[in-house]
A and B are shown apart, each in its own frame.
Chain A
Amino acid sequence: GQQVMQIPQYQHVQEGEDFTTYCNSSTTLSNIQWYKQRPGGHPVFLIQLVKSGEVKKQKRLTFQFGEAKKNSSLHITATQTTDVGTYFCAPAGDSNYQLIWGAGTKLIIKP
């Protein structure tokens, strides 16, 4: 079945540094969603990307969908302690109502 690879698994950054997580698929994706899960919390929807080469911004977060619609990235500029958590990419599966979840990238802010 469809699978996605999300890298890195963990990223330690100093507060104020940037953070990037990548999501890669071997097959073309119809769309991709991104979620954030705070420690002890539940996943919260961030954004959906649909078009080839699409770039969307939410304040310090920039989301990109690759031209071939096989990869995506999330970049956070100048991380803050509130950004701590695990970021999941979740492309749509064969059914548009079902998502294929990556393993997530955990963002850790160094003290």
Chain B
Amino acid sequence: EAGVAQSPRYKIIEKRQSVAFWCNPISGHATLYWYQQILGQGPKLLIQFQNNGVVDDSQLPKDRFSAERLKGVDSTLKIQPAKLEDSAVYLCASSLTGTGVGYTFGSGTRLTVV
């Protein structure tokens, strides 16, 4: 079974620039999550999709972050404009709805804002 694919692996941008991350979940996984993990902390949920609908985006800074999952498969997360405090690893995870099996995470995108 192929895992969760994320790209790019690393990104360095200047503050106020924009950046986009891509995620392709495991085939058949209806639920997709974007997490932000700051160094030394646990993952923080940014947004949760169920198929192509948003289930929870309460912790997404909507003034600068946006995410979409148009066809219910792959997803993009965008930051515009980036701030220094956005430096973190952005993790995408997917799960097979209702099975209770743990999430499968992608390798993440390490973003550095300078």
0/1 interface trace, chain A 37-67, chain B, CB 8 Å (1 if under)? 0000111111110100000000000000000
Number of inter-chain CB pairs below 8 Å: 54
**How big is chain A's contact interface, by range?**
20 to 34
Let me know if A98 and B102 touch, CB within 8 A: no
Min distance, Cβ B29 to any Cβ of chain A, angstroms: 11
Contacts of A50 in B (CB 8 A): 100
B108 CB-CB contact with A under 8 Å: yes
Among A13-21, A73-81, A99-107, the stretch in contact with B: A99-107
The reply to whether B102 and A45 contact each other, CB–CB distance below 8 Å, is yes
Among B18-26, B42-50, B60-68, B78-86, the stretch that binds chain A is B42-50
Knowing that A42-B89, A99-B45 are A-B contacts, what are 8 other residue pairs whose CB atoms are under 8 Å apart, sorted by A's residue number?
Answer: A33-B102, A42-B105, A42-B106, A42-B107, A43-B103, A45-B102, A45-B104, A104-B42
**A interface with B by C-beta (< 8 Å):** 31, 33, 35, 41-48, 50, 88, 95-99, 101-104
